[in-house]
Copies of this chain bind each other. A is one copy, B any other.
């Protein structure tokens, strides 16, 4: 499986050139632009060998070589090294205008645009799925008659809300009492635990509260579901700039995929578990109408260990080295911002 050193260098040269130019790379181009110390004929032999192994292909007999998905995979895994330190692009990255949204939704949207701008691809951010949310505060507001608005505030300052309808009318005072009760309990227990306690202890005694607790619990489930489906996509039109999407068919397919955010979410979520950067190349994206697309994703931390996913989707032929840096940088940046947000509250 391990290639000869020279062949590696040729493969890298082909892929680099192809990424840069977008046109199939012939042996003569390699001779002109690189110094392998061999003739074009030898390069042809090497390229034929690389094609044999499945790393390269050519669109027709008399055309130059282009990388296959497998070739890109090898390129990512073995050929490029991403040095975060001290290269011009890294500096450029650090000089990018920072994110500053104080609302968490704004922040996510900003981050997706940030990714898009710097990578010239579509930026995608999936909001933290928060499997174990700690609510800090739960508030009930009586709207009109039997309508009650439940407001959930998480530790991180995210606010979610859900409108419920009770069987009977209820006084705001009772709601306040219950809210205070919940607030106190929330310091020690999670919502499911509190629910358990209420069900056990209050049973018949305070029907209203039991009822309210049930409604609240269900609402929190629903809210969490809705919340966990949040996908932010920024700069989708960015990636249409690249010539690979010059055909209308492809563009349409791509946009359809973007509109079906849920599919995207599932795809991205699968990679959440892994730490660090993951790269999915072309056909490696399963059941996704995105032939010719690559995804570069990373996860980010929010506060303690609540984790979301973020990344970019672009043409298979993209500037992997730079884009990987962008994704890495952004995930760290976002983690830091969320951490700060968290800390800023704790101290004092």
Contacts and interface: CB of A to CB of B under 8 A. Distances in A.
Contacts of A245: 248
A263 interface: no
Instruction: Give the contact-size bracket for chain A.
Output: 35 or more
The DSSP consensus for interface residues of chain A is: mixed
Nearest to A243: B248
A177 interface: no
Nearest to A145: B348
Contact of A241 (B147, B165, B252, B345): B252
- Which among A159, A226, A240 has the highest number of chain B CB atoms within 10 Å? A159
A247 B136 CA distance: 52
B137 A153 contact: no
A203 B345 CA distance: 29
A237 interface: yes
A41 interface: no
A149 B153 contact: yes
B157 A159 contact: no
Nearest to A246: B248
A87 interface: no
Given A237-B259, A246-B248, A251-B248, A137 B147 contact: no
Contacts of A345: 143-145, 147
